[in-house]
């Protein structure tokens, strides 16, 4: 692919003067197409991407080799040793000598050139005032389509903007929230109405929560067809792949706590044509922070499961076991272990299927009865691990790719495996959970 060729050319020539014209020619892009394609794949301008890759390479040489600073500057495309020192100080707040002395690693990974059929756009957006309606149903599959069908049936010909997102479950009823342009408000959707039976809409009670004022922000957006598998794949790419290696992070302001992401339904005559996904973002303050850490033996109580919903099944097996036999241990757990391997057993033919091992951290192995098959004690040996800390996410694959790229870039070897450790201080709100990816390394 042209973008892959361009990125390869860039990586091979970071020490050279890289003009936009040169990169466009190498990647078979026009100048304008280069800006568009490059930004949609990386979330960076060409200039910003080159700057970060040069500095990332320089930091690795400073920390892990005895290469003189003047030579590092030349090999990494800096005009002089002084320019290198200034860039290092601006990025990490340390001189090169102080950075070499120890502490966390700062790393910006190379992009692999993988793109999505529809480009990711990052732009300021204003969401208009909306009326929030909650739709309750006992069935999860297709709840969005049923909520929309109700809306269009109540007001045929409605062509205003419609947004949606998952809402909070009410008892056994699942919830999907619709946000429709607040003016004009269809009489049948007046906020004083309510309905509590499954499969019916119920507006939020209380004037303060019925109407949502207009709000603005910076959003990463991507379009996709109105097909459940396509929607899930688009969210997975946007949040778990593109975001992790872009110059952006998920927005953390208070206004985003209750609405971290949502979807807009592009419709005509009551038929949804496509969706526009919105993820509020903000500029990252710096690079990925990675630490090379000497760890003692790490022990976990875990369960291993394969097949559909394997991760959920493995987690449930551990917690059910603890709730029945060690309830205090279940209540005090603060570190949760997850690792995944591709399925290789007989009859496991699903592309991308994985076997998950999930559990909790232990101070010492738990005594298990002979023949116990629900759970097992597992351990990782003492040794040197590269550790990357990130925000909570459902798929740690992008973080693992960043960590592997850093390990190889430092001249180390990737060890036998990796795992994720989700940590909480007792709160299980997503914004309060941190994930640390551990990767074994070898000299």
Instruction: Name residues whose C-beta falls within 8 Å of residue 277's C-beta, 6 or more positions apart in sequence.
Output: 221, 222, 223, 224, 231, 234, 235, 238, 261, 263
2-107 sits in which CATH class? Answer: mainly alpha
In whole angstroms, how far apart are CA 158 and each of 8, 149, 322? 49, 12, 52
CB 63 within 8 A of CB 94: no
Sign of the four-CA dihedral 252, 255, 260, 265: negative
The position carrying tokens 């400073």 is 62
pLDDT tens-place values along the chain, 443 residues long:
577 777 877 888 888 877 767 666 665 667 777 777 787 777 778 888 888 889 988 988 888 778 899 999 998 899 899 999 999 998 888 899 998 887 667 777 777 666 667 778 888 888 888 888 888 888 888 888 899 998 888 878 788 899 998 888 888 889 888 888 876 544 454 443 433 444 545 444 333 347 888 888 888 888 889 888 888 888 888 887 788 767 787 887 766 766 667 899 998 888 888 999 998 888 776 667 788 888 999 999 999 998 878 889 999 999 999 999 999 998 899 999 999 887 655 544 444 568 899 999 999 999 998 888 899 999 999 988 989 887 766 567 777 877 887 877 776 777 777 899 999 887 767 667 888 999 988 76
Instruction: Name residues whose C-beta falls within 8 Å of residue 430's C-beta, 6 or more positions apart in sequence.
Output: 260, 392
Domain parsing of the chain, residue ranges = 2-107, 129-212, 215-286, 289-442
Give the per-residue pLDDT at 160: 86
Give me 217's structure tokens.
Answer: 């922000």
289-442 sits in which CATH class? Answer: alpha beta
Give the per-residue pLDDT at 317: 94
Distance CA 159, CA 207 (A): 25
| DSSP bridge partners of 422 | 336, 435
CB 240 within 8 A of CB 149: no
Distance CA 337, CA 427 (A): 17
Distance CA 424, CA 432 (A): 7
Distance CA 184, CA 279 (A): 27
Give the per-residue pLDDT at 270: 81
Give the residue among 374, 363, 376 at the shortest CA–CA distance from 299: 363
Contacts by 101-106, CB closer than 8 A, 24 or more apart: 103/291, 104/289, 104/290, 104/291, 105/59, 105/60, 105/63, 105/289, 105/290, 105/291, 105/292, 105/406, 105/410, 106/56, 106/59, 106/286, 106/287, 106/288, 106/289, 106/290
Name the CA dihedral angle for 47, 52, 53, 58, rounded to a multiple of 10 degrees.
130
Give me 136's structure tokens.
Answer: 């309750």
Instruction: Name residues whose C-beta falls within 8 Å of residue 328's C-beta, 6 or more positions apart in sequence.
Output: none
Give the per-residue pLDDT at 198: 43
């Amino acid at each position: 692919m042209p973008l892959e060729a361009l990125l390869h050319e860039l990586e091979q020539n970071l020490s050279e003067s890289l003009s936009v014209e040169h990169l466009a020619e190498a990647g078979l892009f026009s100048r304008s197409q280069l800006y568009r394609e490059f930004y949609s794949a990386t979330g960076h301008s060409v200039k910003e991407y080159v700057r970060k890759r040069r500095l990332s390479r320089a930091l690795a040489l400073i920390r892990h080799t005895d290469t003189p600073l003047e030579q590092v500057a030349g090999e990494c495309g800096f005009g002089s040793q002084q320019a290198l020192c200034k860039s290092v100080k601006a990025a990490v707040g340390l001189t090169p000598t102080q950075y070499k002395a120890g502490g966390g690693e700062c790393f910006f990974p190379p992009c692999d050139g993988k793109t999505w059929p529809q480009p990711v756009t990052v732009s300021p957006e204003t969401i208009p005032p909306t009326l929030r309606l909650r739709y309750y149903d006992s069935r999860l599959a297709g709840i969005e389509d049923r909520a929309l069908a109700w809306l269009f049936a109540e007001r045929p010909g409605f062509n205003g903007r419609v947004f949606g997102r998952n809402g909070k479950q009410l008892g056994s009823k699942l919830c999907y929230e619709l946000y429709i342009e607040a003016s004009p408000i269809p009489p049948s959707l007046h906020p004083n109405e309510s309905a509590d039976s499954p499969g019916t809409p119920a507006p939020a009670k209380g004037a303060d929560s019925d109407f949502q004022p207009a709000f603005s922000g910076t959003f990463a957006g991507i379009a996709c067809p109105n097909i459940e598998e396509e929607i899930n794949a688009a969210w997975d790419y946007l949040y778990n792949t593109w975001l992790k290696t872009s110059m952006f992070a998920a927005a953390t302001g208070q206004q985003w706590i209750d609405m971290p992401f949502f979807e807009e339904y592009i419709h005509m005559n009551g038929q949804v044509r496509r969706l526009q996904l919105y993820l509020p973002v903000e500029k990252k303050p710096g690079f990925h922070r990675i630490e090379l850490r000497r760890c003692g033996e790490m022990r976990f109580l875990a369960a291993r499961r394969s097949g559909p919903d394997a991760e959920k099944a493995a987690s449930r097996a551990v917690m059910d076991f603890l709730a029945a036999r060690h309830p205090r241990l279940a209540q005090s757990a603060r570190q949760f272990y997850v690792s995944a391997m591709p399925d290789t057993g007989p009859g496991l033919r699903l592309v991308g299927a994985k076997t998950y091992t999930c559990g909790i951290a232990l101070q010492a192995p738990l005594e298990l009865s002979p023949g116990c098959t629900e759970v097992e004690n597992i351990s990782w040996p003492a040794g040197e691990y590269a550790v990357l800390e990130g925000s909570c996410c459902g798929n740690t694959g992008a973080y693992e790719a960043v960590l592997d790229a850093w390990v190889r870039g430092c001249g180390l070897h990737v060890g036998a495996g990796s795992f994720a450790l989700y940590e909480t201080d007792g709160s299980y709100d997503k914004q309060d959970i941190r994930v640390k990816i551990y990767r074994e390394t070898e000299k």
